[in-house]
Amino acid sequence: MKLDFDGIRLQAPFYDETHREWRDSVVRPFIDKEIVPHIEKWEKDGDIPLEVYQRAGEVGLFQTGYSEAYGGVTDGVDIFHALITGEELARPGAGGVAAALTVHSIALPPVINFGSEEMKKKVAPGVIKGTHHISLAITEPSGGSDVGNLKTTAKKDGDHFIINGSKTFITGGLKANWFTTAIRTGGEGIGGISLILIPADAKGVSRSSVGPKQGWICSDTATIYFENVRVPADQIIGKENEGFKIIVNNFNNERIGMAAGAVAYSRVCFEEAASWAKVRKTFGQPLSKHQVIRHKFAEMLRKINSTQAYMDICGWHIKNGTPNAADIAMLKVQATKTMEFCAREAMQIMGGISYVRECKTERIYREVRVMAIGGGSEEIMRDLACRQMEL
């Protein structure tokens, strides 16, 4: 077994030649050429240049799973192509890269699946090409995972909505041309929530950076303000006051995507630590020859493989139309806990060198909390699973 990113990957029957070709001929060459050489600069700048998105669009990175009518590709494409994309984007060990280049995957599907045809034609082609950007705006300053209690409101005024409120921790919010926005259009609770597409250049919309962050440094994260923003009523996504169902449906793909990234980050930590342990000598022999260190690698691999298997089974169910929200929620917990464990153990193995900013494991260690909280915190995920079990 080669102790590298590919060598320790658990082989599964769900991946065929199309998946390997997608990884080896499209995604990996793009990442190695257009991303890996620039990560350090982007991390220092706290930004990814706009032309990178366009080049990603040109090679087809944003196409998979979207209708050919809007510039996408669906023929022969399934969830495993998306999981491979998530894994490969995590391979450089900088979470901001994956966050920035996959935010459309949580913001565009509601438009594609529930928006009007006019809305789809206006938004989807540019996003798929990488020339335009869309962000999902749900989280608010007053609450995170408690979507049912959001405060941003939309009041009917003839054939328009008047929107007031704010959103925060919005990934890609500074670059977005549109926001897929969760807004209260009705009464209290989940029954009064709608999704509305808001143009970022609409009068009354303003935005600012949330400021320096622990992780996801090269991905912009914004606070969005809506002050008497007038949006045509036909910009509602789906039916009025039924937006919560769309949000919940959308969470499954977001969570399995984050799980794919977390598993890949775990493999990156393993690879970097193994490479170091084989050349670093302590007490007259390579670090990797000490039993206590060898057992750390065994435990890391056990957790990585079990999580990979869980993810692949969840992917199979999504592909076959039988997704289980509880399993996907628990998968996200399993994946982020595995990532946290592997990042910690890799740093213990590598010692001082892992504390240097250019080290992948150092970056990944700082990404742990956002992965454990974003897309639904571990606590919320466990509670969701318990509700599914009717406990």
Cα gap 251→230, rounded to integer Å: 28
Give 383-388's long-range contacts (Cβ < 8 A, gap of 24+): 384/325, 384/326, 384/329, 385/326, 385/327, 385/329, 385/330, 388/324, 388/325, 388/326, 388/329
pTM value > 0.85:
yes
**What is 134-241's CATH topology?**
Butyryl-CoA Dehydrogenase, subunit A; domain 2 (2.40.110)
Residue 50 burial class via C-beta count within 10 angstroms: exposed 0-12, middle 13-18, buried 19 and up: exposed
The one-character DSSP state at 143 is B
Place of tokens 């912009």: 220
pLDDT recorded at residue 151 = 93
pLDDT tens figures, 340-374: 999 999 999 999 989 988 899 999 999 999 999 98
Report the pLDDT value the prediction gives residue 211, as an integer from 0 to 100: 86
From first to last of its 391 residues, what are the pLDDT tens digits of the chain?
Answer: 899 999 999 999 999 999 999 999 999 999 999 999 999 999 999 999 999 999 999 999 999 999 999 999 999 999 999 999 999 999 999 999 999 999 999 999 999 999 999 999 999 999 999 999 999 999 999 876 678 889 999 999 999 999 999 999 999 999 999 999 999 999 999 999 999 999 999 999 999 999 899 999 999 999 999 999 999 999 999 999 999 999 988 889 899 999 999 999 999 999 999 999 999 988 889 989 999 999 999 999 999 999 999 999 999 999 999 999 999 999 999 999 999 999 999 999 999 989 988 899 999 999 999 999 988 899 999 998 898 888 7
Top-tier CATH class for 245-388: mainly alpha
Whole-number pLDDT of residue 115: 96
Active centre residues (catalytic): 254
46 phi/psi in degrees, rounded to 5: 70, 30
CATH 1.20.140.10 domain residues, the chain? 245-388
Task: Kindly tell me the number of DSSP H helices and DSSP E strands found in the chain.
Answer: 13, 10
User: Which residue stretches of the chain are H helix?
Assistant: 17-21, 28-34, 39-45, 50-59, 79-90, 95-102, 104-114, 117-129, 243-279, 291-319, 325-350, 360-373, 378-388
Contact 183, 233 (CB under 8 A): no
Q: What is the CATH number of domain 17-129?
A: 1.10.540.10
Portions of the chain given CATH number 1.10.540.10: 17-129
